[in-house]
Chain A
Amino acid sequence: MDFNDSPEEAAYREKARAWLAENAAAHRAKWGEVKPNTPEHMAAAKDWQATKASAGYACITWPAAIGGGGGTPIQSVIFGQEETKAGLGYGYFTIGLGMCVPTVMAFADGETKKRFVGPAVRGEEIWCQLFSEPAGGSDVAALRTRAVKDGDEWVINGQKVWTTGAHYCDYGILLTRTDPDVPKHKGLTMFWIDMRDAAVECRPIHQMSGGREFNEVYFTDLRVKDSQRLGEVGDGWKVALVTLMNERLAVGGSAGPNYREIMKLARELSGVAGPALKDQSFRDKLADWYVQSEGLKFTRFRTMTALSRGQTPGPESSIGKIISANQLQELANTAVEMEDQYGVLVDPDQAPAEAAFQQSLMWAPGLRIAGGTDEILKNIIAERVLGLPGDVRVDKDVAFKDMPTGR
C-alpha cells in the first residue's frame, strides 16, 4: 500500500502542474466572468476542453491515435486532482465522453468512430444519452419509443425524459423498441442520432432546484439510416449495459460542498454555545462525513490500483453514488439548520457563503435518483457483487405488448 506517487506518477504530476500553471490562470480569468448555463459558459468550456486535448490531457486513458492522451487510469486521476486544485472543471462533457462515445467506439464501424471520436475529445461536439422514459424510470427496458424499419431507414416515434443537456447537445445515443412481440429486453435496438434534426423536439424540465439541466425529448417520424445502428437489431440491451457500466464510473464524483466547506461555515457561524464548530452534535456528523468522503476517495484509488494491475472494475463502484448523494443531502441540510432562521434565504447577494448549501439541498434529491436510484444501486450490489437472487420479475417471459401498464 502506498499513498505516495511512484517516481513516474510524481513526474507526471509535476508535468501536469506545470502545464496547468501555464494554461489555467488565463482560462480561469476568462471563465470567471461568465455565468453558468449561458452560451458564453459553454464556449469557455469548449475552449478549455480543446486546450486540454491539444496537450493530451483530455480522455487521458484513450489511445493517442484517436485523440486521447495515451495514458493510464492513475494519470487520469492525477490530472483530475490537479485540475480541481486549479479551480477548473466543467460538467458538459461527462456524459458524452464517459458513456456515449465509449459506446459508439465499442459498436460503431470504423468510419463512424473516426468521424465522431476526435471532435468529442476536443469538445467540439457534445453527446447525450437517451434512455429513460416516462413509463420506464428504473425499469429502463420498459421503454416505449418505437423504431420501425422502412427500407434502409428506421422511423422513430416516442418520448424520452431526464435527458441531461439535450438542449445543447449535438448528438445522442438512443435506445428504441424495434420488436414489441418479444419480452422487453429482447426487442430493443440502439442508434446514434443527430439532435439538431427537425424531427427531434427538446423541452427543458423545470426542476425543483430551479435549474433546467434535464429535458423531455420528443421524436416525430425521425428518420435515421440503418448505418446509424449501434449493435445488432434486438441487441440494444446489451449495448445499453455497456453504457450503463461506464455510467457508474462517470457519475458520483464530487457533487457539491463537502466536509471542508461545511467546516469553514461552522467556524464562522455562532452555534448553540460558542462557534457552531464546537457544537458536539455537529462534530460527530463532521467526523462521519470525513470518514465517508475519504473512504470513497480511497475506494476510487483501489479501483485505480485494480485497473493498473489489469483487472476490470466491477459494479463495486456503485457504492460511490449511494454515499455521496446521501451525504450531500444531509450535509446541506445540516448547513441550512446551522444558519438557524437565516437558513431560509437562498439569495446569493444576501448569503453568498450559504447559497451553495441551499442549492445542494434542492439538488440532492435528484442526485439520489439520477444514474440509478439508491434502491436500484443497492440491488446491483446485492445481485452483482454479493450474488443474491434477482427480484421477482413478473414480466420476464411476457411479450412487451402484453405487459400491464399504469402511470
Chain B
Amino acid sequence: MDFDYSDDQKFLKDEARKFLAAHCDVSVVRGVLDKPERAFDEKLWKGVAEQGWLGACIPEEFGGLGLGRVELCAIAEELGRAVAPIPFASTVYVLAEGIMAFGSDAQKASILPRVAAGELIGCLATSEGPGVVGPASLQCRVEGGKLSGTKIPVTDGDVAGVALVLASEGGRPGLFLVDLTGAGVTRETLKSLDPTRSVAKLTFAGAAAERVGDAGAGFEIVQAILDRAAVLLAFEQLGGADRCLEMAREYALGRYAFGRVIAGYQAIKHKLADMYVKNEVARSNAYYGAWALNDDAPELPIAASAARIAASEAFWFASKENIQVHGGMGFTWDVDCHLYYRRSRQLSLVAGAPKVWKERLVSQLEQKNAA
C-alpha cells in the first residue's frame, strides 16, 4: 500500500510546475481570454509537445514516452493549477486514451504518433443540445460510412483535426473517428463560459466516419473513455482548487479590515478550512482513481466517479469562495479569481455534470452490493 506520488513522480510534477510557471503565467491565459478569436495558446502547446507531455502515456513505438498514468495525473494537476489554455484534455485524455483503449492497430498507428508530436488535436462530440445525452435522443447518424447531423457544444471542435463522434448506426449507438478537415464538415466557433477553452458547433453532411470499437457499443465505449478522462480531469480540478485556496490565503493575509488582517477572523479562517477539507477529500479520491486508472483495475468506474464528484465539488467551492474572500476586487475582470471560477464550471461540465456521475456511482454501488 502506497498512497502518494513516488519521488520520480514528484520530480516530474515539480518540473511541470516550473515549466508552466515560466511558460504559462497568467498573461498567457489572459492572452486567450481577451482575444476570443484565439482558441488556445499555440506557443504553449508547442512547448508542452516538446516536453513530451502529449505522448507521456503513448507507447514508445508510437513516438511517446511510455510512462504510467500516475505520471500523467501529476502533469494534469499542474495544468489545472495553471489554468493552461490548451486542448490538452481533448487530445490526450480523450483522443489518445480512447484510441489506445479501443482503436484498431491502424487507428493507433495513424493517430498516436501525430498526437505525441503535437501535430494532431482531438475532441469528443457527444452533446446535441441541452440536457443529458441518452441513447434515445441521438440525432446524428452514420449510413454507409457517412456521418450526418449536428454536435453542439464540442470543446476544441474548432481547432481539432479529428473528432470522436457518438452517432447512431442502424439504430444503435456507435463511436466514430471523423477527419474534421475533410469534406462534409462545417464548424462554427461559439461563445462559452470559459473563453480560455474554445467550443464549437460541428455540422456533418456526409462526412467520412470510421468506427472505433464494436458496432452498437458506442455508449459503453464513451463511458469507458470518460471514466479514464474523469480521473485525469479530477487532477486538473484538484490543481485548480489548490490554487484557489492559495490565492484566498495570500489575499486574506495581506488585506486589513477593522485594524487587522482578515485572515485572523474566524469567518475567513473557517471558510479556508472548509476549502482545505474539500480539497483533501478530492485529493484522496483522485489518488484512488489514479491507482485504478494506472492498474486498469475493475474498480475504475467507481473510483473515477468518486474522483470526479469530489473534485467537481472541491473546485466549485474553492473557486466561488475564493472570490468571496477577495471581496469586491474578486468580482473584477482584472483579478484572476474568475479564471478559476470559469474553469471550474468548464471542467465540471465537459465530461458530464456531477449529477450524472452521482447516478453512475450509485448504480455501480447497487450492482456491487447486489452481487
Shortest Cβ gap from B351 to chain A (Å): 16
B114 at the interface (CB under 8 A from A): no
B306 touches A301 (CB 8 A): no
Q: Which of B4, B253, B291 contacts A388 (CB 8 A)?
A: B253
A4 within 8 A of B: yes
For chain B, the bracket of interface size reads 35 or more
Q: Which of B264-309 contact A (CB under 8 A)?
A: 264, 266, 268-270, 272-274, 276-277, 280-285, 287-288, 290-292, 294-295, 297, 305-306, 309
Q: Interface 1/0s, chain A 1-30, versus B by CB < 8 A?
A: 111111001000000000000000000000
Q: Which of B130-138, B154-162, B316-324, B361-369 contacts A (4 or more CB under 8 A)?
A: B361-369
List of A residues within 8 angstroms of B310 by Cβ: 291, 295
The smallest beta-carbon distance between B70 and chain A, in angstroms, is 5
Is B45 in contact with chain A by the CB < 8 A criterion? Answer: no
Q: Is residue A392 within 8 Å, beta carbon to beta carbon, of the partner chain?
A: yes
* Contact present for B266 and A379 (CB under 8 Å): yes
176-225 of chain A: CB within 8 A of chain B = none
Convert B1-38 into 0s and 1s, putting 1 for each residue whose CB lies closer than 8 angstroms to a CB of A.
11111000000000000000000000000000000000
With A4-B1, A9-B1 known to touch, is A298 a contact of B288 (CB < 8 Å)?
yes
Q: How far is the CA of A256 from the CA of B284 in the complex (A)?
A: 22
CA gap between A216 and B287 in the complex, in Å: 44
Q: A2-B291, A296-B284, A298-B3 are in contact. Are A389 and B276 (CB under 8 A)?
A: no
Contacts of A297 in B (CB 8 A): 284
A290 / chain B contacts, CB cutoff of 8 Å: 306, 361-362, 365
A333 CB–B CB distance under 8 Å:
no
With A286-B365, A287-B309 as known contacts, state yes or no: A2 contacts B261, CB within 8 Å: no
Interface-facing stretch out of A42-50, A89-97, A315-323, A337-345: A315-323
The answer to whether B291 touches A3, judged by C-beta atoms less than 8 angstroms apart, is: yes
A286 CA to B369 CA, complexed, in Å: 14
For A1, A290, A292, A295, the residue with the greatest tally of chain B CB atoms inside 10 Å of its CB is A1
SS class of chain A's interface: helix, strand, loop or mixed? helix
Contact (Cβ within 8 A) B266 A391: yes
CB atoms of B309 and A288 under 8 A apart: yes
What CA separation (Å) do A67 and B273 show in the bound complex? 39
Tell me whether B263 is interfacial, beta carbon within 8 Å. yes
CB distance from B8 to the nearest CB of A (A): 12
Taking a contact as CB atoms under 8 Å apart, the answer to whether A296 and B287 are in contact is no
Tell me if B365 and A386 are in contact (CB < 8 A): no
* Cα–Cα distance between A142 and B4 once the two chains are bound (Å): 40
- The answer, among B70, B274, B288, for a CB contact under 8 Å with A294, is B288
A242 close to chain B: CB less than 8 A: no
Residues of B within 8 A of A388 (CB): 249, 252-253, 263-264, 268-269, 272
Taking a contact as CB atoms under 8 Å apart, the answer to whether A263 and B365 are in contact is yes
Tell whether B338 is near chain A: CB-to-CB under 8 Å. no
**Is the CB of B358 closer than 8 A to any CB of chain A?**
yes
| Contact (Cβ within 8 A) B1 A291 | no
Say whether B214 faces chain A, with CB atoms less than 8 Å apart: no
Residues of B within 8 A of A259 (CB): 365
Give the segment of A112-120, A132-140, A302-310, A352-360 that binds chain B: A302-310
Task: Check A378–B291 contact: CB distance below 8 A.
Answer: no
**A382 to B291, alpha carbons, bound, how many Å?**
30
Cβ 8 A contact of B273, one of A277, A284, A294, A378:
A378
- Asked if A383 CB lies within 8 Å of chain B CBs, one says yes
Which residues 272-288 in A have Cβ within 8 Å of B in the complex? 277, 283-284, 286-288
Chain B nearest Cβ from A305, distance in angstroms: 4
Instruction: Choose among A298, A302, A379 the residue that contacts B269 (Cβ–Cβ < 8 A).
Output: A379
Do the beta carbons of A298 and B266 come within 8 Å of each other? no
| Across-interface contacts of A316 in B (CB, < 8 A) | 280
Where chain B touches its partner, the secondary structure class is: helix
- B260 partner residues in chain A, CB cutoff 8 A: 389, 392
* B50 beta carbon closer than 8 Å to chain A: no
A106 lies within 8 A of chain B by Cβ: no
The docked-state distance in angstroms from the alpha carbon of A299 to that of B277 is 11
Please tell me if the beta carbons of A302 and B355 are within 8 angstroms of each other in the complex: no
* Known A-B contacts A1-B294, A386-B273; A291 and B365 likewise in contact (beta carbons under 8 Å): no
Assess whether B42 is interfacial by the CB under 8 Å rule: no
Interface centre among B3, B272, B282, B365 (most CB of A within 10 A): B3
Is A375 an interface residue when CB atoms closer than 8 A count as contact? Answer: yes
A385 at the interface (CB under 8 A from B): yes
Q: What is the CA–CA distance of A143 and B277 in the complex, to the nearest angstrom?
A: 31
Docked pose: A277 CA to B281 CA in angstroms: 25
Residues of A within 8 A of B249 (CB): 386-388
Closest Cβ neighbor of B354 among chain A residues? A287
A291 → chain B closest CB, angstroms = 5
- Smallest Cβ distance from A353 to chain B, in angstroms? 16
Complex Cα gap A120–B87 (Å) = 60
Asked if A305 and B1 sit within 8 Å, CB to CB, the answer is: yes
A74, B1: Cβ atoms under 8 Å? yes
Neighbouring A residues of B2 by C-beta, 8 Å: 1-2, 6, 305
Are the CB atoms of A319 and B288 closer together than 8 Å?
Answer: no
Q: In whole angstroms, how far apart are the Cα atoms of A6 and B2 in the complex?
A: 9
Write out, one digit per residue, whether chain B residues 237-276 have a CB within 8 A of any chain A CB (1) or not (0). 0000000010001001100000011011010111011101
CA distance A1 to B269 in the complex (A): 32
B188 close to chain A: CB less than 8 A: no
Which residues of B lie under 8 Å from residue A377 when comparing CB positions? 273
Q: Which single residue of chain B is at the shortest CB-CB distance from A377?
A: B273
Query: Which chain B residues lie closer than 8 Å to A286 at the CB level?
Result: 362, 365
Beyond the given A291-B310, A295-B306, A379-B270, could you list 19 further A-B residue pairs with CB under 8 A, ordered by the A residue number?
Answer: A2-B1, A263-B369, A287-B309, A291-B313, A295-B280, A295-B281, A295-B310, A299-B281, A304-B1, A319-B276, A375-B270, A378-B273, A378-B274, A379-B273, A382-B270, A386-B273, A388-B264, A389-B260, A389-B263
Q: List 10 A-B contacts (CB under 8 A).
A: A3-B292, A5-B1, A263-B369, A290-B306, A301-B1, A302-B3, A302-B4, A381-B276, A388-B268, A389-B260
